[in-house]
Chain A
Amino acid sequence: MTRRIFHIANIALALAFWLFYGLECNGTMHGIEGDSLFLYTSQFAREMLGRNGGLANWLGAFITQFYYYPLLGSALVGLLLALLAEGVARFCKSDITLPLALLPSMVCAILLLDPKWTLALPVALCLCVWAAYAVCRIKVLWIKAGCAVGAAIFAWFKIIDCQFYTYAVAPVKTYYIILAATALICVICAIVPQLKMRWIPSIATVALTAVFVIIAPGKVDRLQEEIADYSHLVRVRDWDGILAKAAGNRLSSPLSTNAVNLALEMKGRLGEDMFNYYQSGTRSLVNFEERKLSSEILYLLGFVNEARHLAFEDMAGNPSRDRGVYHLTRLVNFNAVDSLRRPIAERYLNTLHKTLFYRHFEHEQLVCPQMEPNSDFFFNFGDFCQMLGFLYNQKPENERARDYFAAALLLEKRTSVFSSFFGESDYCPKSWKEALQITASINGGETAPELLEYVNSYNACYGKASGMGRYSRTYWYYFNFR
């Protein structure tokens, strides 16, 4: 009976993880998948397996590639966790210890909600537990001893010493505590004899499962998930998806605003709708600390050299991460803009074609060489507005550069400079009109007739506690209150 309840609980946990991880954390899963690379080549396998912890890393990378489809990826991880719990349960002589068998997989599940932990962790645990179980099943003592020594040496070099964390400073202590605790659980399970406590193990199993289901969702970093989700939508160029997600939702991070502004621009609505969302200076347009998203923005604006710079440095500069498919796809796109860079794009493309889900990847054509600066200047990451000005001056036909330059001037509240550039423009969306009205009012000029009633109403409300809310989506409100 208890074993049956254990199996049901194990399956329920796997299913819960599958659905929760696959549906609630799909942005994060796409991010992890983008940072990983699994090639179907013998050279890749040799290289991976040759390193310390290679087997766990290789299998971890193999499963991670399926995060491309989050529900498929999370199903495989759920299966892996169930396999781990089943492996530990095999050591149980007594039903009383069965609930303990769920603990390692529960801990792994909770840790995996933090994207810095890799799948090498559950893979390593699973391999070790099942290897130990297999060794225990050997009947002949000297063969058992020999296999135990061999397996321990192999496990130490090729499994345990794996890359379980993708960050410069890994929590090594935590990792070894998890390993030791799992080993201890296996030992306890193996030595505790059968006791007559019919209902206690079943109740404990159910209680443990319930506690896990309650605790786990709280471990998800919602802000990180929001950013990851927007980043993924930018990556797949789903501009409508970004705007649909942003509609009616508060943007919690400037990075989310970056994605929304980019989507607005790609739909030709930046000047019209950008102040429908919370804006805060030019960091609402781009944040260079986040290299992936900013490289996308720079690329789509026509700053292809700078985009390549950020994408390449993001790939090469992380001390604990190998190159991932996301970087490779970006570098293909960024290098394929002009014919002279094609050989290097081909190089990355050849690598992508050895993966499972990118074997038919081809570069996109969202940017043409005519959008790039033709006269050289050194890019200053500290003054994005000026850089946009340089680009717009050189390429006035680059509409994205024009809109971003205008947006940067508005966000920096440089309305007089804005007017000097765009005062005579035929194209004049809502936020531009509002900005031009501000300049006009400062300089004593005339207000556009279509804005007259609106301006008077705004001026009547200005400074009063009530009523201003209806103007929160205007440039005037941003200009005066943000």
Chain B
Amino acid sequence: MHNPEMKTRLLIPLICFCILVSCNPAGKVGTASKAPCIFPDYTEITVPYNIAPLNFKFEGASAMLLDIKGEHNYRFRSSGETMKFPLRRWKAMLAAEKGNTLTLTLQAKAEGKWVCYPEFKWEIRPEKIDSYISYRLIEPAYEVWNVLSINERNVETFDERILAANSLTGRSCMNCHTSNRAPVQTTFLHARSAGGATLYQRDGKIRKVNTATDSTAGAAVYGEISQDGRWGIFTTADIRNGLHSAALERFEVFDDSSDLILVDFENNTVTDSPLVKGPEFQETFPCWSADNRTVYFCRAEALKQPEQTRQMHYDIYSISFDPQTGELGDEMVKIFDAAARGKSVSHLKCSPDGRKLLFCASDYGTFPIWHIETDLWMLDLQTGEIDRMKETNGEFADSYHCWSTNGRWICFASKRDDRVYGRPYFAFVREDGTTTKAFVLPQRNPNFYLTTFKSFNIPELYDTPEPYDARDMRKFYFGTETEQMTYSR
């Protein structure tokens, strides 16, 4: 035994044995009557087969043992309060269990005792979720910001990169990174302040365009780009804000005026229609129908603000669009009377199959993220029926949603956890159009959401990674000539 090599040979198996023993329940295991209180809440959820490992935390646990039963059996161990799944084993498990429902049994050791918790389930859907998600990371301040960035995250792994950082672009504000999710992907984002413009990317080529003209109210704000990448429908708005004093409210953003503009990115022109501009009504949050032949938008009678902000109720309207002539129709139709229900709608997003319209419903106004009562609602465009998505909505503001390319998943920012910090949540859209309980984007370290001071803003799903990064963006921002759009009647 004086041989050090011999000592090492004996010591290594001994240590391995001790670790295994400490991670396995030995002797009596108690049972708990309630489901395990894990963070994030990944109990009873429906997930895509290509999602990154759903690492979670169980506070107070010194060891965990997770048994997963599906077509095969799997066992994962943890020697602390966080359960981190090895990526390769996780991928193999989901690939093997595609379309199955997994039953999970968690045993956790706390204060020296092992306790077995009631089982919970994960439904592994064979429908893929888009591989990438972009979001803006920003401190949820009211008017000012310090450092913000638009990041792209691979939802199948934990890889993340920065697409645009305001630290590289003179601290300017950047927002609304949006994809058209077409086979040839087109995306845009707005960079504000001096040198700023709309950064339009199609097929790897980036352009910097200024959509503000003398004949329209300002530059493009909220909007979408058509599937062929040529047309953009946007809001132009004079955006103001105010600070609430009553206990449970926080901040209000409202438009003194707002109109819609149609942007032709091929001919660099901006146009509009008398139906969607003018001081009598406010029009905002336009989106395309799946075939790009209809524009849905929110519209409300223009009232004096901020005095009558609480009376501002936006309804949903539609107007036809002819992609050949680039003209909006002569007639608009009210397709959802939100005011009659005491609600105001915003952020319209049409499903890829053209059958559903997903939107935010708040008590009033046009800026849902500051309204804790904001929920996502789904309108069936064929029947006119409304689904209030009770299974999916959280306690506080659910907003900034988008569809996956195949229309089977939705992603949105939810403040359900603490009222202030938004986090990206996903939910599955069933065949009948109903949606499941939402789950948060998994992180390598489940503590991340509890410690970060950043809010996830405008999560956007897409399947092709952006061809640029923050350094490229800096070059475009400072080095590229801005293309000036002209107004066309």
The distance from the CB of B303 to the nearest CB of chain A, in whole angstroms, is 15
In the complex, A340 has a CB within 8 A of chain B? yes
Interface residues in A, total, Cβ within 8 A: 37
Instruction: Verify if B304 is at the interface (C-beta below 8 Å from A).
Output: no
B214 CB within 8 Å of chain A: no
Contact of A376 with B by CB under 8 A: yes
Q: What residues of A have a CB within 8 angstroms of the CB of B245 in the complex?
A: 303, 305-306, 372-373, 376-379, 387, 390-391
| B451 adjacent to A376 (CB under 8 Å) | no
Contact A375 B451 (CB under 8 A): no
Q: Do A373 and B246 have beta carbons less than 8 Å apart?
A: yes
In angstroms, Cα B246 to Cα A237, docked, is 26
Residues of B within 8 A of A338 (CB): 247-248
Contact check, B243 vs A378: say whether CB atoms are below 8 A apart. yes
Q: Which residues of A contact B418 (CB under 8 A)?
A: 343-344, 346-347
Q: Chain B residue with minimal CB distance to A338?
A: B247
Asked if residues A376 and B144 are in contact (CB atoms below 8 Å), the reply is: no
Contact indicator B246/A316 (Cβ below 8 Å):
no
Q: Which residue of A lies closest to B145 (CB)?
A: A316
Q: B475 interface residue, CB < 8 Å from A?
A: no
Of the listed stretches B181-189, B249-257, B481-489, chain A binds B249-257
Flag A305-332 by CB within 8 Å of B: 1 or 0 each: 1100100110111110101000000000
Decide: A378 and B246 in contact? CB cutoff 8 A: no
B143 at the A interface (CB under 8 A): yes
Q: Which of B252, B419, B450 contacts A378 (CB 8 A)?
A: B252
Complex contacts, A313 vs chain B, CB 8 Å: 141-144
> What residues on A are CB-neighbors of B34 within 8 Å?
none
Q: Report the separation of the CA atoms of residues A390 and B146 in the bound assembly, to the nearest whole angstrom.
A: 33
Residues of A within 8 A of B419 (CB): 340-341, 343-344
Would you give the shortest CB distance from A426 to chain B, in whole angstroms? 28
Q: Once the chains are docked, how many angstroms separate the CA of A184 from the CA of B159?
A: 44
On chain B, the residues within 8 Å of A303 by CB distance are 245
Asked if residues A376 and B246 are in contact (CB atoms below 8 Å), the reply is yes
Interface string of B455-479 (1 = CB under 8 A from A): 0000000000000000000000000
CA distance A312 to B321 in the complex (A): 44
A37 CB → nearest B CB, Å: 10
Q: Which residue of A lies closest to B142 (CB)?
A: A309
Cβ-defined contact, A305 with B306, below 8 A:
no
Say whether, besides A344-B419, A378-B306, A317 and B144 are in contact (CB < 8 Å): yes
A27 to B50, CA, bound (A): 55
Please indicate which of the listed interface residues A313, A346, A351 has the most CB atoms of chain B within 10 Å of its own CB: A313
B447 at the interface (CB under 8 A from A): yes
B242 at the interface (CB under 8 A from A): yes
Give chain B residues whose Cβ lies under 8 Å from the Cβ of A306: 243, 245
Q: How far is B422's CA from A344's CA once the two chains are assembled, in angstroms?
A: 12
List residues of A (277-329) whose CB comes within 8 Å of B's CBs.
303-306, 309, 312-313, 315-319, 321, 323
Q: Do A372 and B450 touch (CB < 8 A)? A: no
**Choice from A316, A340, A390, A391 contacting B139 with Cβ under 8 Å:** A316
Interface flags for B412-455 (1: CB within 8 Å of A; 0: not) read 00000111110000000000000000000000010100110100
Chain B, range 129-164, C-beta contacts under 8 Å to A: 139-147
Name the residue of chain A whose CB is nearest to the CB of B143: A313
Which residues B394-423 have CB closer than 8 A to chain A? 417-421
Q: Is the CB of A369 within 8 A of B247?
A: yes
* A317–B420 alpha-carbon span in the complex (Å): 17
> At the interface, yes or no: A393 with Cβ under 8 Å from chain B?
no
Are B450 and A309 in touch, CB under 8 angstroms?
Answer: no
Closest to B251 in A: A309
How close is A178's CB to chain B, nearest CB, in angstroms?
25
When distances are taken between beta carbons in the complex, the residues of chain A under 8 Å from B453 are 323
Given A43-B451, A343-B418, the answer on whether A305 and B145 have CB atoms closer than 8 Å is: no
Nearest to B171 among chain A residues (CB) is A319
Question: How many residue pairs at the A-B interface have CB separations less than 8 Å?
Answer: 92
List residues of A (379-393) whose CB comes within 8 Å of B's CBs: 379, 387, 390-391
**Contact flag A351-B246 (CB < 8 Å), given A317-B146, A319-B146:** no
Is the CB of A350 closer than 8 A to any CB of chain B? yes
A residues within 8 A CB of B246? 305, 372-377
Query: In the complex, what residues of A have CB within 8 A of residue B247's CB?
Result: 304-305, 338, 369, 372-374
Determine the distance from Cα of A373 to Cα of B248 in the docked complex, in whole angstroms: 10
Closest beta carbon of chain A to B173's beta carbon, Å: 12
Cα distance A323–B424 in the bound complex, in angstroms: 23
Residue from A321, A344, A350 within 8 A of B420 (CB atoms): A344
B205 at the A interface (CB under 8 A): no
User: Shortest CB–CB separation between residue B174 and chain A, in angstroms?
Assistant: 15
CA distance A303 to B245 in the complex (A): 7
Q: Which of B143, B145, B244, B445 contacts A376 (CB 8 A)?
A: B244
- Contact (Cβ within 8 A) B447 A43: yes
Proximity string of chain B (240-272) to chain A, C-beta cutoff 8 Å, 1 when within and 0 when not: 001111111111100000000000000000000
By a CB distance below 8 angstroms, the chain B residues around A350 are 450-451
CB distance from A361 to the nearest CB of B (A): 17
B445: which A residues are within 8 A, CB to CB? Answer: 43
Alpha-carbon gap, A376 to B141, bound state (A): 20
Residues of A within 8 A of B252 (CB): 378
| Contact flag A343-B417 (CB < 8 Å), given A372-B247, A376-B244, A378-B245 | yes
The smallest C-beta distance from A211 to any residue of chain B, in angstroms, reads 40
Chain A nearest CB from B396 CB (Å) reads 9
Q: In the complex, A343 Cα to B39 Cα: how many Å?
A: 14
Chain B proximity of A61: nearest CB distance (Å):
16
Residues on A with C-beta less than 8 A from B141 are: 312-313, 315-317
A43–B451 Cα distance when bound, in Å, is 9
CA distance A317 to B139 in the complex (A): 9
Contact status B243-A316, CB under 8 Å: no
Given the complex of chains A and B, what is the CA–CA distance between A294 and B229 in angstroms? 49
Mark contacts of A133-177 with chain B using CB atoms, 8 A cut-off: 1 yes-contact digit, 0 otherwise: 000000000000000000000000000000000000000000000
**Shortest Cβ distance from A328 into B: residue:** B453
Residues of A5-58 contacting chain B, CB below 8 A: 41, 43
- Complex: A315 Cα to B447 Cα, angstroms: 22
Q: Give complex CA distance A323, B147 in Å.
A: 12
Closest to A373 in B: B245
* CB <8 Å contact, B145 and A317: yes
Tell me how far the C-beta of B185 lies from the nearest C-beta in chain A, rounded to whole angstroms.
31
Which residues does chain B contribute within 8 Å of A323, judged by CB atoms? 453
Residues of B within 8 A of A375 (CB): 246
CA distance A391 to B447 in the complex (A): 40
A469 CA to B147 CA, complexed, in Å: 53
Contacts of A309 in B (CB 8 A): 142, 243, 251
In the complex, are the beta carbons of B146 and A318 less than 8 A apart?
A: yes
- Closest Cβ of chain B to A415, distance in Å, is 27
Residue-wise interface mask of B (209-248) relative to A, using a CB-CB cutoff of 8 A (1 in contact, 0 not): 0000000000000000000000000000000001111111
Distance of A379 Cα from B246 Cα, bound (Å): 10
Residues in chain B near residue A376, CB distance under 8 A? 244-246, 249
Instruction: Look across to chain B and name the residue whose beta carbon is closest to the beta carbon of A387.
Output: B245
A377 to B, closest residue via Cβ:
B245
Instruction: Please state if B144 and A347 are interface contacts (CB–CB under 8 Å).
Output: no
Please give, as numbers and ranges, the residues of chain A lying within 8 Å of B139 by CB-CB distance: 312, 315-316
Q: A227 to B170, alpha carbons, bound, how many Å? A: 32
List A contacts of B144 (CB < 8 A). 313, 316-317
Extra 17 A-B pairs, beta carbons < 8 Å, given A41-B451, A347-B450? A43-B445, A43-B451, A305-B250, A309-B142, A312-B140, A312-B142, A313-B144, A316-B140, A317-B146, A319-B171, A338-B247, A343-B418, A344-B420, A350-B450, A372-B246, A374-B247, A379-B243
**Could you list 21 A-B pairs, sorted by A, with CB under 8 Å?**
A304-B247, A305-B246, A309-B251, A312-B142, A313-B142, A313-B143, A316-B141, A316-B145, A316-B146, A317-B141, A318-B146, A338-B247, A344-B419, A346-B418, A369-B247, A374-B247, A376-B249, A378-B244, A378-B252, A378-B306, A379-B245
By Cβ-Cβ distance, the 4 closest A-B pairs, closest first, are A317-B144, A376-B246, A316-B141, A316-B139
| Chain A residues close to B by CB (< 8 Å) | 41, 43, 303-306, 309, 312-313, 315-319, 321, 323, 338, 340-341, 343-344, 346-347, 350-351, 369, 372-379, 387, 390-391
